[in-house]
Chain A
Amino acid sequence: MRHQIKVFILIVFLLILNGCAKKVLMKYAETDTIKMCEENFYSKFYMHFSENEKNEFKEIKTLGECQIFIDTFWQKRDTDPSTSENEYKTLLEKRVEDIEKEVLFQNMDTAGFAFKASDGFKGDPAKIYMLHGAPDFTKKIEGHTFVNLMVWIYGDENGKHRYRFLFYQKNSIQYVIFWPQWNGWIAIEEISKDFVELDAVYEELIQNEGEIFLISMISFSDNSNITPDKALKPPKPASEIAKELAPKIKTETPKTEEIVVANSFNSTIPAEFSYEITNDKLILKLEIKHEDLDWILKNNELVSELFIKTIVWDKDQKHEEEHNINIVSTKQKITEKNSFFFFESKPITLESEIVKASIYIKNNQKYNSWIEEIKR
């Protein structure tokens, strides 16, 4: 009786599912658009759609909009934007081809398995195949005491099992996914045929080298952080992964548009460095011609923003100074050859005979640097 109720519920559930599957996703689209987009594209690649993309897809009305959606869909997933080929599109199209050509049917380990019999692209095996491609290891077993089982294993870089997907044959027709149970006996009960002792199922699996099926019934991955939920999530598009993992780029942003008067170099500020030692006190000096700086207009004045950093290492001491200086000038002064900006560091009392000094100046994207050994 319990079995009959189960079968009845299953039939009702399948009928509902079937009804849902035929429901058109694209609510506002014309028939030809639905054919091209939903039947030829979505029905195959839907496992890779994010929730946002699904919502966006539902709103598509015309073929043109659909083409733009598809182009963007692939572009976001291109794994190497520097090549003309979209490697990810090629990869997924190959998976579609594999499913359509029933590549596992004649495979020794999965002989007789057909995606078509397992609800085609809507079925669990095709979903997994579209997500993860061909498994690294497959095995199928037909039992007397249990329903037919099939396992697909995907390895990781360390040779461990990243995913173990276990399928069982439901109603002797289609393979559906079996989610691992925390209790092995409950798992065995799920796959056992009616009126069979659970010990007998266990024994039959062991005798037929079915340990991998037993493991897959209770554990999905060798990595405890990987859950079935995660394995069924659409993979992040390459462009998103790149955003998350790519290094941060730090550089100078040239203020080219703001610059009113610029020096004749692109990355250099010509300047004269000198130093003075009086009574053991060291002063670092810089002399920069106004015409050798970049100038911007600020409140009707020409301003040059100069950053100066000096470091003097003397024995164990480090004397460091940083200055952000706004030099104000006039256009006439800037063009005069003898118009200079002078800088002097704070006097440093020297302890050693020889000290090392580092001077760095930056103005806009341009810079100059000195490293000197200074003898007393």
Chain B
Amino acid sequence: MTTGDQTMKILILAMFLLQEPALLPIQQGPNNPPSVNGWKKVTEIHLELKNVIKSGEKTMTATSIVGSFRVLQNPELESEFVFMVSKYPPLTFVPQLLQSAENTRDEMVVAENYFQKVKQEKLKEMIKFSDTILLIKWRESKDLRTGETILLGPIENWLLNQQGKWIFESTNDKTIKRELVSEEDLLLGFKFSLKENYHILRLNMSHLGGEK
């Protein structure tokens, strides 16, 4: 299996862990999540939202980033992973309204290249102000018979609730629920829930400007 396949499998597993509501809570455990300092980054994806907004007669698509998720691997126990969600102050990128349609594709590419650099710099700046709000820890192994990757032991879930307290649940199955949050026609953010506790990562509506 290539590294890419492995990453994809871990990602799919991580997303799978997030999709369904809790089934079997097993025990209450230590409330604070473990330190994952020094863990190897397997992947990192920014939590992005796209909204079509109107300005006068023109419409444009604004992209907002409200956080990121990372999959990390324990360097001392390679079968152990965490899925970590970070929340940072939201960033919204609103495209410029072009004065004319004379811009060539080359100019658009140039603008995109510069934008990507600025975006990365801005993200780095915002990540300094990030809080971890969710951590899911699990171990996996290979099924010797089928060769499939399987979960080994319980899944440990930590969620920072809105009162700033860590909630812990250890389960045998997927527990954390992720939902897209919208208000009227706008995609607002993501809601991560652990039973009745939740935390919302959202954009600042005033950043979108224009009319809805």
* B129 engages A81 (CB within 8 Å): no
A275 at interface by CB-CB < 8 Å: no
Q: Which residues of B contact A254 (CB under 8 A)?
A: 89, 129
A contact residues, total (Cβ < 8 Å): 45
Q: Please, how many angstroms separate the alpha-carbon atoms of A156 and B126 in the complex?
A: 40
Q: State whether A370 and B89 are in contact (beta carbons under 8 Å apart), knowing that A79-B113, A82-B113, A82-B116 are contacts in the complex.
A: no
A238 within 8 A of B: yes
B95 at the interface (CB under 8 A from A): yes
- Indicate whether A267 sits within 8 Å of B131 (C-beta atoms), given known contacts A82-B117, A249-B93: yes
Whether A251 is near chain B, meaning CB under 8 Å from some CB there, is yes
Do A81 and B91 have beta carbons less than 8 Å apart? Answer: no
Residue B92 is within 8 A (CB to CB) of chain A in the complex? yes
Interface of B is mostly: mixed
The answer to whether B207 has its CB under 8 Å from any CB of chain A is yes
| Min C-beta distance of B88 to chain A, whole Å | 5
A265 vs B161: C-alpha distance when bound (angstroms): 13
Q: Is A241 an interface residue (CB 8 A)?
A: yes
In the complex, how many angstroms separate the beta carbon of B204 from the nearest chain A beta carbon?
7
Interface residues of B in 157-181 (CB under 8 A from A): 160, 162-165, 181
Closest-CB distance, A89 to chain B (whole angstroms): 14
Q: In the complex, what residues of B have CB within 8 A of residue A292's CB?
A: 164
B110 touches A242 (CB 8 A): yes
- Whether A311 and B94, one on each chain, are in contact in the complex, defined by CB atoms closer than 8 angstroms, is no
* Distance between Cα atoms of A245 and B96 in the complex (Å): 6
- Which residues of B sit under 8 angstroms from A172, Cβ to Cβ? none
Complex Cα–Cα for A169 and B115 (A): 45
Contact B164 A247 (CB under 8 A): no
Q: Please state if B164 and A265 are interface contacts (CB–CB under 8 Å).
A: yes
Q: Indicate if the CB atoms of B108 and A245 lie closer than 8 Å.
A: yes
- What are 20 A-to-B residue pairs whose CB atoms are below 8 Å? A82-B113, A225-B100, A236-B107, A238-B110, A245-B96, A245-B98, A248-B96, A249-B91, A250-B209, A251-B126, A265-B131, A266-B88, A266-B130, A268-B87, A270-B163, A270-B164, A292-B164, A309-B205, A311-B183, A369-B189
* A residues with CB within 8 A of B: 79-82, 156-157, 225-226, 236, 238-239, 241-242, 244-252, 254, 264-268, 270-273, 292, 309, 311, 358, 360, 362, 365-371
B contact residues vs A (CB 8 Å cutoff):
62-63, 87-96, 98, 100, 102-111, 113-120, 122, 126, 128-131, 133, 160, 162-165, 181, 183, 189, 191, 200, 202, 204-205, 207, 209
